[in-house]
Amino acid sequence: MIDPDTSSSSRLRFRLATVLLCVLANGCMQTAKSLVEISSLQGEIIKAFGEPGVHVNLHNDVSLTVTFINSPLNEKSPEERQKRAAATAAFVKGHYASVGKLKEIWVGFIKQKSSYVVITYTEGLEYFGFDKNAYPLPGTGADFSMAGNGDEFQPKAVYSSSRKQTDVSIPRLQLEGDLNEGLVLTPHFAVPGDATGVKRSSLPSSVNLDFAAYSRKPLFAGETKVSALTDGTVVFATLGRFSSSKLAEGKFSGFLFLQVAYTDFHRMTAGENLVLRVGDKEYQITEEQLTAMREMTQYVRE
């Protein structure tokens, strides 16, 4: 005869073991999924920026680090590395499936030497911190102060005391499509001194217009004409060429970095209507986007 207490205890142990196995299996599945996502993201970053020395690491599911190893940018200025870091954070935001879980995105640059496959020397240059929306974290990469709220279109102003300049930008203006596919514009410029408070800085000589395209096929091939029409009048026109890279899942990325005179940027934003022409496509800038671009000028003395 089976002791009822023994039988009940056995059933309980079996249920607990079953639950434990399910938890472990689910944990393994989540870990495997995370590894696949990180591996895919690393491959896409390598293709997008054309650098083989990229390492992506996820810590506690909330902090993601992208490290560029022996990048050509190591020989460039800190400003160039910060620009790459910002572009990388925006790329992570648009391509990492679990970006919503992140609290921090870190982008760093290191020098590394090896002998017979053994790493003999490593030097970290800089790490730049961003939140999951690719906005700079205060106090990272340098001594930063920041102006601007979390509004999507609100211009962000970040002061670096080490460089003694303020970088003003709108991280993302979606001209077409969505986070996964379409065309994005990031306008930004730098001015001397701290312009994050009430004090305004002198006029910058130029404004950077960074375009990023993600699509099933290259949106812009060869030399591309880019122009801006304010209230129907062309205020600037130039030629450029999108860099194109094939990403995972058959998608393509393309980047075009333009510089326009600040006076032309001011004319772009001074009217009531702004249209950007890129190749044979026209993009109507929304009233909200135009207002945000116009507000970038509040950080300088006109």
pLDDT (tens digit, 9 = 90+) per residue, 33-89? 677 788 889 889 998 898 888 888 887 778 898 989 889 998 888 888 888 999 999
Q: Within this chain, do residues 109 and 243 fall inside the same structural domain, yes or no? A: no
* pLDDT at site 29: 44
From the DSSP assignment, how many helices (H) and strands (E) are in the chain?
4, 16
211-232 pLDDT, tens digit per residue, is 888 888 888 888 899 999 999 9
Note down the domain range covering 127.
12-141
Q: Within this chain, do residues 130 and 159 fall inside the same structural domain, yes or no? A: no
Cβ contact 230:264 at 8 Å: no
Q: Within this chain, do residues 191 and 248 fall inside the same structural domain, yes or no? A: yes
Q: Within this chain, do residues 153 and 297 fall inside the same structural domain, yes or no? A: yes
Q: In angstroms, what CA-CA distances link 42 with 15, 38, 88?
A: 40, 6, 11
- Three-point CA angle 293, 298, 299, nearest 5°: 105
Separation between Cα atoms, residue 224 and residue 235, nearest integer Å? 17
Q: Within this chain, do residues 115 and 158 fall inside the same structural domain, yes or no? A: no
Q: Within this chain, do residues 149 and 292 fall inside the same structural domain, yes or no? A: yes
**Does some domain include residue 7?**
no
Q: Within this chain, do residues 116 and 156 fall inside the same structural domain, yes or no? A: no
Instruction: Decide: pTM greater than 0.75.
Output: no
Tokens of 9: 């205890």
Q: Within this chain, do residues 152 and 133 fall inside the same structural domain, yes or no? A: no
Closest C-alpha among 69, 45, 63 to residue 125 = 69
Q: Within this chain, do residues 192 and 48 fall inside the same structural domain, yes or no? A: no
5-34 pLDDT, tens digit per residue, is 445 555 445 444 444 444 334 444 445 567
The CATH number assigned to the domain holding 280 equals 2.60.40
| Count of structural domains within the chain | 2
**Does some domain include residue 192?**
yes
Which of 88, 106, 141 marks a domain boundary? 141
